[in-house]
């Protein structure tokens, strides 16, 4: 059964139509890598899935929530749909624990003891329990990004969205963040990833979605798609990006 349903979604910014009738179904536990050149609509689609961008037409349903932008229902949807961006967006004046505990406290009204336990659990899951009382400026970029992932996990989402989360990191830090995402995949988390890490996408995703000019151009299982591109556009893309 699909946990994410996207039907004929259109989105434009002024005269620029960024999404031109995108349709996509994602099953529970599936890891979907969204690939494509800059400007192809990948990040816009991801932001539409969390309600950060309002679509012009079409339908989005995630984890039983139909996207209609009514504030109360939108908040409920975002409890089930976590999103992590390229920038960490951690509050510098709050400790790691406080950054993680903020949303559960506001949304779920957890008491301080249970909230602290939740922070410990998600930090242990990503291998940063020893940094629970550190402040963001004492962490590496990779550690900050892992804390951002932990913060999203603290809301216990059913779907996780990752938007180029390693693009600002050097190769060593990239690997530590990708290792966390790979573990989430093994744990059965439903994920959609916008990534430029082709080998990682090939290894971890069980569906590749190649976007081009605001449309889904080609989809399929990673090995088949990379071995036998069905369109000249994806063939050209892989020839430039896969080493």
| Pick from 49, 50, 40: nearest CA to 6 | 49
Q: Which pLDDT value is given to residue 241?
A: 67
Q: What does the domain layout of the chain look like in residue ranges?
A: 2-90+159-241
CA distance 71 to 101: 22
Q: Identify the H or E element spanning 24.
A: strand 16-27
Q: In the numeric block, which tokens belong to residue 86?
A: 């390229």
Q: Give the tens place of pLDDT for each residue, 210-236.
A: 999 999 999 999 999 999 999 999 999
Q: Give the tens place of pLDDT for each residue, 134-184.
A: 999 999 999 999 999 999 999 999 999 999 998 888 888 889 999 999 999
The pTM is what?
0.93
Q: Which pLDDT value is given to residue 243?
A: 47
3-state secondary structure of 149: helix
Query: At the fourth CATH level, which superfamily is domain 2-90+159-241?
Result: P-loop containing nucleotide triphosphate hydrolases (3.40.50.300)
Q: Which pLDDT value is given to residue 207?
A: 96
Query: Which tops the pLDDT comparison, 53 or 86?
Result: 53
Over the Cα atoms of the chain, what is R_g? 18
């Amino acid at each position: 059964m699909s946990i994410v349903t996207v039907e004929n979604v259109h989105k434009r910014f002024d005269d620029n139509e960024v999404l031109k009738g995108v349709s996509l179904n994602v099953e529970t536990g599936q890891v979907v890598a969204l690939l494509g050149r800059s400007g192809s609509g990948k990040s816009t689609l991801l932001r539409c899935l969390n309600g950060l961008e309002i679509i012009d037409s079409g339908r989005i349903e995630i984890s039983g929530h139909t996207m209609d932008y009514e504030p109360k229902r939108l908040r409920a949807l975002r409890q089930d749909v976590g999103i992590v961006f390229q920038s960490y967006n951690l509050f510098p004046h709050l400790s790691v624990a406080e950054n993680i505990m903020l949303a559960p406290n506001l949304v779920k009204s957890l008491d301080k003891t249970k909230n602290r336990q939740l922070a410990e659990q998600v930090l242990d899951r990503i291998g940063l329990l020893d940094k629970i009382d550190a402040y963001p400026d004492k962490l590496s970029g990779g550690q900050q990004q892992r804390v951002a992932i932990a913060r999203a996990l603290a809301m216990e989402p059913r779907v996780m969205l990752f938007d180029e989360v390693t693009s600002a990191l050097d190769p060593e830090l990239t690997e530590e963040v990708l290792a966390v995402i790979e573990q989430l995949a093994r744990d059965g988390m439903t994920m959609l990833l916008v990534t430029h890490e082709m080998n990682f996408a090939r290894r971890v995703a069980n569906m590749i979605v190649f976007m081009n000019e605001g449309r889904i151009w080609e989809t399929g299982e990673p090995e088949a798609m990379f071995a036998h591109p069905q369109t000249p556009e994806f063939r050209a893309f892989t020839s430039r990006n896969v080493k």
